[in-house]
Amino acid sequence: MAWNVLNNIRQSLGAKIRRLHADSLCRWVADVCSKPYAMSPHPVLVIAPHQDDETLGCGGLIAMKRDLGVPVSVIFLTDGSNSHSDRPDLGAFTSDQLINTRQHEAVRALEILGLPRSDIHFLNAPDGKLDELTGLDKQTLVDRLAAIMSRHKTLEVYVPHRKDRHKDHEAVWDLVHDALAQADVEHELYQYLIWMPWRSPIFWKCAPSDLRGALCLEINGVLDRKIRAIDAYRSQHSVLPPGFLGRFHEPYEVFFRPRNGTSNGHGRVDVQRC
Ligand SMILES: [Zn+2]
Domains of the chain, by residue range, sit at 41-253
- CA of 49 from ligand 1 middle (Å) equals 5
Contact residues for 163 (Cβ-Cβ < 8 A; gap 6+): 170, 196, 200, 205, 206, 210
Cα–Cα dist 194/248, whole Å: 9
Predicted confidence pLDDT, tens digits, the chain (274 residues) = 666 767 777 677 777 888 888 888 888 888 878 899 999 999 999 999 999 999 999 999 999 999 999 999 999 999 999 887 766 665 667 888 899 999 999 999 999 999 999 999 999 999 999 999 999 999 999 999 999 999 988 899 999 999 998 999 999 999 999 999 999 899 999 999 999 888 877 677 777 888 888 999 999 999 999 999 999 999 998 889 888 999 999 999 999 998 754 444 433 333 333 3
- CA of 170 from ligand 1 middle (Å) equals 10
- CA of 267 from ligand 1 middle (Å) equals 29
Cα–Cα dist 148/76, whole Å: 12
- CA of 52 from ligand 1 middle (Å) equals 7
Among the listed residues 27, 40, 68, the one whose alpha carbon sits nearest the alpha carbon of residue 216: 27
Please provide the CATH number assigned to the domain covering 41-253.
3.40.50.10320
- CA of 5 from ligand 1 middle (Å) equals 30
CA atoms 208, 213, 217, 223: torsion sign = negative
- CA of 197 from ligand 1 middle (Å) equals 14
- CA of 2 from ligand 1 middle (Å) equals 35
- CA of 128 from ligand 1 middle (Å) equals 9
Cα–Cα dist 195/111, whole Å: 25
Query: What backbone torsions phi and psi does residue 219 show, to the nearest 5 degrees?
Result: -125, 25
- CA of 247 from ligand 1 middle (Å) equals 16
